[in-house]
Amino acid sequence: MSSGKVLLGVLAGVAVGAVLGVLFAPDKGWNTRKRIAKKGEDLADDLREKFEEFLNSISEKVDEVKEDVADISEKSKSKATESKKEAKTATA
């Protein structure tokens, strides 16, 4: 299972638990709605933060792969150049 799906599931569970906890707490309606709105804002902020962290980690991994591909490409070019030189010296 991907870490993104696990993270999303955990955050959804926390959100549902927080809302249910507030709804079942004995308090006045306006106060309960205010607390639900505050919890919703907090959870949205947390979700945005986690999503940005996830995107940053993906971006870093893509950059690493690009660097690896560039290194492999450069090594391949070097070996091809060496092989050509060796072939020229062998036929000369």
Interval 74-82 mean pLDDT: 85
Higher-confidence residue: 66 or 90? Answer: 66
In the structure encoding, which two tokens stand for residue 76, read together?
Answer: 């391949």
Domain count, the chain: 1
Going through 1-90 in order, the beta strands assigned E by DSSP cover none
Look up the domain containing 51 and give its range: 3-91
Per-residue pLDDT at 12 exceeds 80 = yes
Q: Which residue has the tokens 């070097």?
A: 78
Q: Which residue has the tokens 């809302």?
A: 19
Nearest to 18 by CA among 39, 42, 48, 47: 39
List of residues 6+ apart from 87 with CB closer than 8 A: none
**13 confidence band (pLDDT: 50, 70, 90):** confident
Per-chain mean pLDDT for the chain: 83
**Whole-angstrom Cα distance, residue 51 to residue 55?**
6
Q: Which pLDDT tens digit goes with each residue over 17-52?
A: 877 877 777 777 788 778 878 888 888 888 889 889
Higher-confidence residue: 66 or 5? Answer: 66
